[in-house]
Chain A
């Protein structure tokens, strides 16, 4: 039965995090999560930019019919801006969809691994996200969902240029594969440019966590494919799979070398970060991420005893301390200053609980 997730379900959100932040899966010491998304449009309708309000509503309804009974659905046109920001922070929808207008919706599974955005830039944006480095299983799952959808909906396709998308940068497979990485030691030692070069030669993009124009916040990076035309889906996945082990090995090697040669330096950075998080009375997202990056590294390198505080707990804390999650948790809107104080309180509480356990 289709269910409109109202206030009820979203209020539970701040207490949990999606599968992609569980810190599980292969190579999870370096790879936070892997994601693949497909852009699809329904034949017979203009793309969202040229659609009337009535047509938008019709597409939302058609898609809801097609996926009946399989997932949770949320109508974004009638939801609050905090709810939309909450979904963005959970990587269930894009900023573009959150800030868009007109009839649009998101449909997602309970595990929050699969989500379908309706009437974003394209009619359909289907994504599957999972913790660790596991592109094969993601693609297998996404591929199945894609096949299920096309049994229900006629998809805009051309034999020459493939799946037709609103932006010509997505035409062809409509596929974007991206892997989120935590590369603290490569960043520390300024070796990121070598990673950049490796990506460059493979026609892949290396970006900071939140795309262009952002600092590589908390040493998080994204590697994704650029081209969608001329390469098959399998070839696109293979290209990422080819470059990833190199990057992972590189970061691991750098961690080992640092541990061996300059353990004091590494310990100092990790302990200072932990101390700051334990002591701060107000903290913004950027600072939190920087320190959490070091704590994460400390946990992975065995510099911090994992008693009571694991990667999973750290991830949960990280998500809960994002602006919309904080406000949802408090059930009211907060100024940035209020958020900084609340964030510091929550972190301090959780960390002191962890150390007592």
Chain B
């Protein structure tokens, strides 16, 4: 497989500590990550630091990545599946400058994959770590804004309210209308927000061989799904969980099994559907050329 066309490694900027954060902050975040792995789906509070970019640009994910990354890691950063959009490019450059780690766009080559809102189409393997950027970690927040209450609800596994919300979708629209950040049960115990990934990606979380870590910088929470852990999307017996389907294949690579974005091509209603995972699409086309 061809290695990605990303820029060559850069020298680490010695004016920063390795991976930007100071050692004591990293320790605090590392302790929170270990608790998160031990209690799958539970949101561990942590002392989120001010980062050199604003909340909403992945500060939680960056702090998690900064706390786990080492000189031998290979980093992939994606934003909505793409390696070349502004959030992904910035975060990748940030870690190149502060750690000088190798970077890639090829999913199988990466040891750490930081993502905003997608899971790569290529299946992950044992030993990889997925780091998700999370805007709203609390799945119950829109139903119950008081954190003291949602904490008790998680403590008692009292998730009836979320089922009522999904039921109201069915009553109003005839189907569950939630299409992204679709709530999941982790290991049959904790209700968890999978971050705004499309529900298309939910099944990939179930029994995934990779470790999945979630960081919410503004909301100051870290949570995790260990490898080989049951992740079940909420549903009803008569309204089972379903993912999005498209009637046409990717216009660039012809894939029929990937998540497609609709791209507007002109102002006369022209449009096409293309893979959201740019690396998957690129490798598909490369295989076709051979």
Report if A and B associate in a common complex: no
Partner-A contacts on B (CB < 8 A): none
Partner-B contacts on A (CB < 8 A): none
